[in-house]
Amino acid sequence: MDASFILIAAVLIGLYSAINIGANDVANAMATSVASGALTIKRAVVVAGVCDVLGAVLVGSHVANTIRKGLIDPLQFSDRQTLFLFGMLAAVLGSALWVNIATYFKLPVSTTHSIIGGVIGFGLISVGVAGIKWKVVLFVILSWIISPVFGGIIAFTIFSIIKKFILSSKEPIAQTRKIGPFFTGIVAFILSLAVIYKGLKHLHLDLPIKEALLISLCVGAGGFLLGSFLLRRYKERNEDPYYQVEKMANPLQVLSASFQAFSHGANDVANAIGPVAAIVAVVQTQKVDMQVPIPLWLLLVGGAGLAFGVYTWGHRVMETVGKRITSITPTRGFSAEFGTATTVLLCSRLGMPVSTTHVAVGNIIGVGLARGISAINLSVIKKIFSAWIISLPAAGLFSVTIYFILSILFT
């Protein structure tokens, strides 16, 4: 089979995955803002689309690298490139199929788990147990357990701070004006640091830590001033102060939701384009040399796919999700989204492919443990856990089957 045919097929399948991911996952980030009335669905779609693309392009390469060369060393395939191409194609196709089938049966599966399952599946069958970098696999699986807990701790802490300094105070409105800007400042600082510290070389964003810290501190100060400006603009009404605090927190929540969409792009774009990147690298260089960076156009294609998914289907998902979660108010939404976004972004920078949805679940439970949410349905966690256990072997099996079919048909 012609290599360029494989490339085109892989890009199309990757694009299809990206659209699916955009349609389903991004809504989770924005639905709380829609539910609380902070954003209209139209605006939420635009904000989510833009932030997702930015995240994918600016930070997306780290996780994509893990998927294309972290789990299986591609050099093992230097004398049989075609098998490697088939394998990566099988991984992306197999995981896409599995996600579609699981979604049909209403299983809450994660695209992250599926793509990892797909890559490991074809690796096991082509280079065997010894050919897989089990240490990386172990770290990835550990990150799936640690990330929701880590995020949950952040969300718990943030909400506890809001509770202690704002909701428990005698003057909640004045306190919001005082505390709020720190939150916007921290968000701006983290975002800027994640982007510019050893960032994407294509965009010349690879600054050393000292300069990166300095610039990020300035950006953070800017975020502080912006937050302070936004909160000062709020005019007090003749209404219970606690409800007014929620209204004041609306811009904070929009910010954290955008932050979450950005992190989602940074981490999940890899699920769609990670294997494609591996194929592109081989086709372009005509050998299995993985030192070339992930091409910017591919990140853009992935980002565009995510955004397209948000534009076409995301609004429907947002509507249904938004209607069901009216119980989450802006202060709670901010805490959960801040924790989710920070965790996912950190994992993205470490090259860890984590499930944004699972981290979000961990964060919502974190806010719940700080007594912030009226009712959490814990039976959902059982379902998530079983779907996660089944995803690895199932996606792997799909990938292996497709790999076999491809190798029989074309070699």
Partner 1 sequence: MSIISKLFGKSPFEPLYQHMLKVKACVDLVRPLMDAFLKGNEEKVKEVAKKIFKAEHDADIVKKDIRSSLPKSIFLPVARGDILRFLKEQDHIADSAEDLAALLILRKTTVPEELKKELKDFVDKVLETYEAAMTVSSEIKLLAETSFGGEEAHKVMELIEQLKLKEWEADKAQMTAAKKMFSIEKKLEPVSVMMWMRIFGELGTLANHAENAGDQMRLMLHNS
Q: Which residues bind partner 1 (CB under 8 A)?
A: 24, 27-28, 31, 106, 108, 163, 167-170, 172, 240, 242-243, 246, 317, 320-321, 324-325, 327-329, 357, 360-361, 364-365, 368, 370-380, 383-384
How near is the Cβ of 7 to partner 1 at its closest, in Å? 33
CB 206 within 8 A of CB 244: no
- Cα separation, 334 vs 340, in Å, equals 10
- Cα separation, 378 vs 398, in Å, equals 31
Q: Which is nearer to partner 1, 136 or 321 (CB)?
A: 321
Q: Which is nearer to partner 1, 249 or 406 (CB)?
A: 249
153 token code pair: 């701790």
Q: Which is nearer to partner 1, 172 or 339 (CB)?
A: 172
How near is the Cβ of 34 to partner 1 at its closest, in Å? 12
How near is the Cβ of 377 to partner 1 at its closest, in Å? 4
Q: Which is nearer to partner 1, 192 or 340 (CB)?
A: 340
- Angle, in degrees to the nearest 10, between helices 81-104 and 111-126: 140
Q: Which is nearer to partner 1, 139 or 311 (CB)?
A: 311
- Cα separation, 23 vs 402, in Å, equals 25
How near is the Cβ of 242 to partner 1 at its closest, in Å? 5
Q: Which residues face 207 on adjacent strands?
A: 197
The closest of 256, 237, 249, 242 to 177, measured between CA atoms, is 249
Between the alpha carbon of residue 332 and those of residues 28, 44, 153, the distances in Å are 14, 18, 14
Q: What sign results for the dihedral spanned by CA atoms 11, 17, 21, 22?
A: positive
Q: Which is nearer to partner 1, 285 or 327 (CB)?
A: 327
Torsion of CA 336, 243, 252, 256, to 10 degrees: 20
How near is the Cβ of 116 to partner 1 at its closest, in Å? 19
How near is the Cβ of 317 to partner 1 at its closest, in Å? 6
How near is the Cβ of 156 to partner 1 at its closest, in Å? 12
Q: Which is nearer to partner 1, 165 or 182 (CB)?
A: 165
294 token code pair: 């992930």
Q: Is 206 helix (H, G, I), strand (E, B) or coil?
A: coil
**Rg from Cα positions in the chain:** 22
